[in-house]
Amino acid sequence: MATTTSSGTNSLKDWSAAQYLKFEDERTLPARDLLSRVPLASPKRIVDLGCGPANSTAVIQSRYPDAQLVGIDSSPDMIRKAKTTLPHLDFSVQDLTSYTPESAVDLFYSNAVFQWLKREERFEIVKRLMATQPSGGVFALQVPDNLAEPSHVLMRQTASSGPWAAKLASVGRDTFQTPQEIYDQLIPLSSQVNIFHTSYYHSLENHEAIIEWVKGTGLRPFVDPLQPEEKEEFLKAYLAALQKAYPTCADGRVLLRYPRLFVVAVKK
C-alpha cells in the first residue's frame, strides 16, 4: 500500500459530532474492546485523548466511575457535544501534538485518533506522554486498519480518476506503523506491549450507508476541498464503485468489514 501524505487535521474543516454519531453503536464497540484489555483495577487519573463527542469517555466512566476522568480533543464541535453529554466531566479543546498533562496519569486511552496524526509524530507523542506516567501506568490505543479495504481503496481511486484529481493529489492518510514497528518503539519504556487485531463486520442498510459512515471520518479530507457540484459527482462515482465491490447480502443489507489494530502498553 502506498504511503500518502497526511493532510493533517488542521487543514480540514472541523469534525461534525452529529455526522460521526450516526454510527455511534458500531464506533463505540472497539472502544469497549480496547478498555476491556486495560490491566488496571482502579486508576486514579485517566485522560481520553481525542475523546470526540464523549462516546468513548462514557465507556471509560462506566468501568471506572471513581476515577478523575478528563477528555481532550482538537475539535471545538466535538468538545461542545462532549460537554453536553457528560456535563460533570472536564473536557477541553487541546491538540495532542502539544498536550502535556497537569499531573501524573495512570491511564492514557485513545480510541480511533492516532491514525489522523502524521506518521512520524504518532509514537513520539505516545513516548512523550508515557514518560510522564508512573510505573505500571497504561497507554491504550486503537486505530482503524482499513486503508486496504475496498471502502478506502475506492475512495482513493475515485479521487485520482476524476476531474478533481489535481485538487486531491496529496490527500490521504499516512499508513499506520506495523505491529513490529510499534513494539520496537514502545518496548524500551514498557514492561509489556500487547498488540492485537480484530475485524468487525458491520451490517449496514445499503451502499449509501457505507458513504454515510466514511463521511464522518475517512472521506472528509477527500470531499472537504470540493465545490458542491464536484462533491455530488464524486459521491456518485464512489457509490457506483462501492456497489460493484460490496455484494448485497441475503437480507438486502451490505456487510462492511472493518479491521482495527489495538495496542496496550504498560509503563516499566
**Residues in 98-137 that interact with ligand SAM by CB under 6 A:** 111-113, 116-117
Output 33 or 233, the one with its CB closest to ligand SAM: 33
Residue 134 φ/ψ, nearest 5 degrees: -75, 160
Give the torsion through C-alpha atoms of 72, 75, 77, 78, to 10 deg. Answer: -40
CA angle 145, 217, 64 (to 5 degrees): 75
69: enclosing H helix or E strand: strand 68-73
Bridge partners of 255? 203
Does 52 participate in binding ligand SAM (rule CB under 6 A)? Answer: yes
Q: Which of 23, 31, 147, 267 binds ligand SAM (CB under 6 A)?
A: 31
Does 174 participate in binding ligand SAM (rule CB under 6 A)? Answer: no
Cβ neighbors of 64 (< 8 A, separation 6 or more) are 42, 43, 46, 107
Q: Which of 6, 7, 61, 75 binds ligand SAM (CB under 6 A)?
A: 75
As given in the structure block, the three cell numbers for residue 216 are: 464522518
Output 111 or 241, the one with its CB closest to ligand SAM: 111
Report, in Å, the least distance between residue 90 CB and ligand SAM.
15
Does 151 participate in binding ligand SAM (rule CB under 6 A)? Answer: no
Does 15 participate in binding ligand SAM (rule CB under 6 A)? Answer: yes
Output 52 or 137, the one with its CB closest to ligand SAM: 52
Does 73 participate in binding ligand SAM (rule CB under 6 A)? Answer: yes
Output 185 or 217, the one with its CB closest to ligand SAM: 217
Identify which of 63, 62, 83 has the alpha carbon closest to the alpha carbon of residue 71. 83
Identify which of 266, 152, 146 has the alpha carbon closest to the alpha carbon of residue 199. 146
Does 51 participate in binding ligand SAM (rule CB under 6 A)? Answer: yes
Contact at 8 Å (CB) between 106 and 137? yes
Chain residues binding ligand SAM by CB under 6 A are 9, 15, 27, 31, 50-52, 55-56, 73-75, 78, 95-97, 111-113, 116-117, 217
